[in-house]
Structure 1
Amino acid sequence: MATANRSKSVARLEARVSPKIKALWQKAADLEGRTLTDFVIASVQAAACEVIEQHQTLKLSVEDSEAFVDALLNPPNPNAALKAAASRYKEIMRV
């Protein structure tokens, strides 16, 4: 019964790695006082969070952030090409 309950809250992941890679991971886990499973989970979790942050976060210099805010607060007037594109969009979308 415990297995049935556990399967609902825990997903299983398996990976095949070379003995050399497993030994490397095991050594790192031992140095941190963790089990291999805990080490792998923590490492993958940290890497996943970092990748997601890199792809979802925009970091600007002070100068660039000021230029961005200025463009938002004081947008330029639309040029002829933008007006034409807006008209085409309205026609296509029947807005």
Structure 2
Amino acid sequence: MANKQPRPERKVPGRVERLGFRLDEETKELIERAAHLSRRKVSDFCVTALVETARRTIAEHETLALSDRDRAAFFDALIAPPEPNDRLRRAFSEHGRRVVS
């Protein structure tokens, strides 16, 4: 018999943090079935689904969708900005007093 050396432990780069949660049996079976149908490990399936959902959620919250009317008002204000009123002047003054660049 050949002398077998123990294999070095294989580490997946970038996966050092853990996230754990509990599921009801029905949800777990649903996830396992979906992972099996996509021919992936459950953990890989879950990570991919979570990352996609997280990215989509962030994009939805960081994206501003304007109506045609709002878009026109925004660009009009950029092209021909209104004169600052007293309230805006006070705000700039207060900002200059509080914030040191």
Fold agreement, TM-score > 0.5: yes
Pick which of 57-66 and 67-76 moved more: 57-66
Question: Structure 1: where are the runs of 5+ without partners?
Answer: none
Stretches (4+) displaced over 6 A: none
Q: How many residues align?
A: 93
Taking only the aligned residue pairs, the percentage that are identical comes to: 34
The structure in which a higher percent of residues are helix is: 1
**Which of 1, 5, 9 is 1:2 aligned to?**
9
Question: Structure 2: where are the runs of 5+ without partners?
Answer: 1-7
**Which of 36, 40, 46 is 2:42 aligned to?**
36
Q: Aligned pair in 2 of structure 1 residues 44, 79: CA closer, same or farther (>3 Å)?
A: same
User: Which deviations, in whole Å up to 9, do the C-alpha atoms of 1:11-46 show, x marking residues without a partner?
Assistant: 233332222221111122223232212211111011
Q: Which amino acid aligns with 2:91?
A: A
Q: Aligned pair in 2 of structure 1 residues 49, 93: CA closer, same or farther (>3 Å)?
A: closer
Answer yes or no: is 1:81 the counterpart of 2:87: yes
TM-score, reference length from structure 2:
0.69
User: Which deviations, in whole Å up to 9, do the C-alpha atoms of 1:61-93 show, x marking residues without a partner?
Assistant: 333222212112211111223233334444555
Indicate the structure whose relative CO is greater, using CA pairs within 8 Å and at least 6 residues apart.
1
SS of structure 2 residue aligned to 1:2: coil
Mark the structure with the bigger radius of gyration. Answer: 2
- Pairing 1:63-82 to 2, within 5 Å after superposition: 63-82=69-88
